[in-house]
Amino acid sequence: MDSDQIVEIIIAEIRETVPELAEQAIGRDDSMADLGVDSIERSEIILAAMEQLGLKIPMVQLHGPRNIGELADLLLAKSSG
């Protein structure tokens, strides 16, 4: 698993959670806030991605990333750690 694969998982969860974004191009430089994802949806997306990665850590450890790529990098680091 590399960061780009985690980006794909996150984007798939974004499209699942916000069906209105199904057709929109989304990449690692986009931020969920700019895409219009609200805070509860963001948590839902991150939890679903964590479950796919088999990762169990408190959500507070995932604050900080400014875009999807940085979030994927952090999830990758936590998975490896």
Partner 1 sequence: MTIAVIGIGVACGLGHGKEAFRQGLFEAPNVFSHLKREGREPPEGEIPFIGVEMPDPPSILPARLARTATLSSRAAISVLDEAWNEAGLETVDPERIGLVVGGSNLMTRERVLALRDYSERLAYVPPRHGHMFLDTDICGLCTATYPIRGFAYSVGGASASGSVAIIQAMEAIRSGRVDVCIALGALQDLSAHDLQAMRAMGALGSTRFADSPADACRPMDTDHDGFIFGEACAALVLCRADKVTGGKLYGEILGASHVADGSRGPEPSSAGQVRAANLALAEAELTVSDIDTVNGHATSTPTGDDTELETYRTLGLEHARINATKSILGHGLSAAGAIEVAAVLIQIEEGRLHPNRNLETPLDPRFGWVGAKSETHDIRHALKFSFGFGGVDTALVIGAPGTGRRRQ
The residues of the shown chain that bind partner 1, judged by CB under 8 A, are: 17-20, 40, 43-44, 47-48, 50-51, 56
CB of 16 to partner 1, least distance (A): 8
CB of 64 vs partner 1, minimal distance in Å: 19
Q: Which residues, including other chains, have CB under 8 Å from residue 77's CB and lie 6 or more apart? A: none
Pick the closest to residue 45 from 72, 68, 76, 17 (CA basis).
17
Measured from the CB atom, the residue of 48 and 74 that comes closer to partner 1 is 48
CB of 6 to partner 1, least distance (A): 16
Q: Based on CB atoms, which residue is closest to partner 1, 27 or 36?
A: 36
Identity of the residue, 31 or 43, whose beta carbon is nearer to partner 1 in the bound complex: 43
